[in-house]
Amino acid sequence: MRAPNPPVAPQAVLWDMDGTLVDTEPYWIDAEFEVVAEHGGTWSHEHAMELVGNDLLVSGRYIAEHSGIDLSAEAIVEELLDRVVAHVGREVPWCPGAPELLASLRAAGVRCGLVTMSYRRLVAPILAALPDDTFEVVVTGDSVSQGKPHPEPYEQAAALLGVLPEQTIAIEDSPAGAASAEAAGCTVLVVVNHVAVPAGERRVFADTLVGLSVHDLPVPAVRR
């Protein structure tokens, strides 16, 4: 009988941003309530939870449909971004354990990418708060034609790194993000934050990133 192959270390770790690297979801939720109220509509926490991890234009269309305000999806997204960028400019709300895990990965020479549905102008101040070489590639919501839960964002990040998605670990916190990474072929480390994430074939769950190092990450489910 052939001996089993040894575990294969990930060729890269692909990070989601909102709710995984930085806990900006409360900023987004506050912004949604503010924008809707300013334009005479109504909003709810339940509606806000439906948007966690989604493509921003998808969220903008959802807000336009369910809030009763007369704004285009594009205009809604820009108003939301104005508010969230302002919040982040005052304070970057790191998720517990995320900076330490990033440092562990950098020290071990593990390549990292950022895969977020936020737009570049929100990502920029967060990247500015990190060492310049933290993320080798950055894929944002305004650089893809189809956002999460479509696999394109993770496929693009892997392609830019020159690796197969199956050789990577994705770190995610939302159903849309986990679905995107899983569909691309990544093994997904799910750290639930604001919304529940269902189990999946390529999903490994952790309660927190606190205390995790490169040695604690799952190995890719498909070997080279």
What are 145-174's pLDDT values in tens digits? 999 999 999 999 999 999 999 999 999 999
Boundaries of domain holding 59: 25-90
For residue 166, what are the CA distances in angstroms to 132, 143, 182, 187, 200? 27, 22, 9, 7, 15
Structural domain tally of the chain?
Answer: 2
Same domain, 39 and 143: no
Last residue of a domain, one of 66, 90, 114: 90
Asked whether residue 224 is assigned to any structural domain, the reply reads no
What are 26-72's pLDDT values in tens digits? 999 999 999 999 999 999 999 999 999 889 999 999 999 999 999 99
Average pLDDT score over residue span 12-29: 96
* Residue 142 to residue 152: CA distance in whole angstroms: 12
Residue 120: name the closest of 146, 134, 144, 140 by CA: 140
Same domain, 85 and 166: no
For residue 185, what are the CA distances in angstroms to 99, 110, 180, 188? 25, 19, 9, 9
Going by pLDDT thresholds of 50, 70 and 90, the confidence category of residue 8 is low
Say whether 72 sits in a helix, a strand or coil. coil
Asked whether residue 223 is assigned to any structural domain, the reply reads no
Same domain, 39 and 18: no
Same domain, 180 and 129: yes
Does this model's pTM top 0.85? My answer is yes
Last residue of a domain, one of 71, 90, 109: 90
Average pLDDT score over residue span 129-141: 95
What are 73-97's pLDDT values in tens digits? 999 999 999 999 999 999 999 999 9
